[in-house]
Amino acid sequence: MIAALLVTSLLFGGMVLYSFGFAAFLFDALPAAVAGPTIRRAFPHFYLFVIGTAALAAVLLYRPDALAAGLMLVIAATTLPTRQLLMPAINRATDAGAKLQFRLLHCLSVVITLSHIGIAGFVLSRFL
């Protein structure tokens, strides 16, 4: 159970740090022409981290809390199309200069990530 708590905490903290810390820092510290391509290169790794960590948490949570395990699987499963389909669509919209399409797709990615953070937070609250 301790391992499940630690892995779920790692997932929650990693998503919060990346979303509200790393990405914001890059755009504050670097010119947009450098920050944009840098964040684009980092996102595939972020999504792999989320998929792997959520899947591991699901395995560790399966016996003590099947609901929490299922929720972690939801995070892993919904991150896969986000990484493989949504992220490339966002990049194509950026490259094409399609600002409205970029905003809509980016907004969707933000909603997905915030939902994942909320789900992971809910799972953490079940440890209390």
pLDDT at residue 16 in the model = 97
| Distance separating alpha carbons of residues 109 and 93, to the nearest angstrom | 13
pLDDT at residue 120 in the model = 98
Total domains present in the chain: 1
pLDDT at residue 53 in the model = 98
Residue 32 CB-density burial (10 A; 0-12 exposed, 13-18 middle, 19+ buried): exposed
pLDDT by position in tens, the chain (length 128): 999 999 999 999 999 999 999 989 999 999 989 999 999 999 999 999 999 999 999 999 999 999 999 999 999 999 999 999 999 999 999 999 999 999 999 999 999 999 999 999 999 999 99
Domain that holds residue 43: 2-125
pLDDT at residue 116 in the model = 98
pLDDT at residue 52 in the model = 98
pLDDT at residue 105 in the model = 98
pLDDT at residue 90 in the model = 97
pLDDT at residue 2 in the model = 96
**Global pTM?**
0.95
Phi-psi region of 30 (alpha: psi -120 to 50; beta: other; left: phi over 0): beta
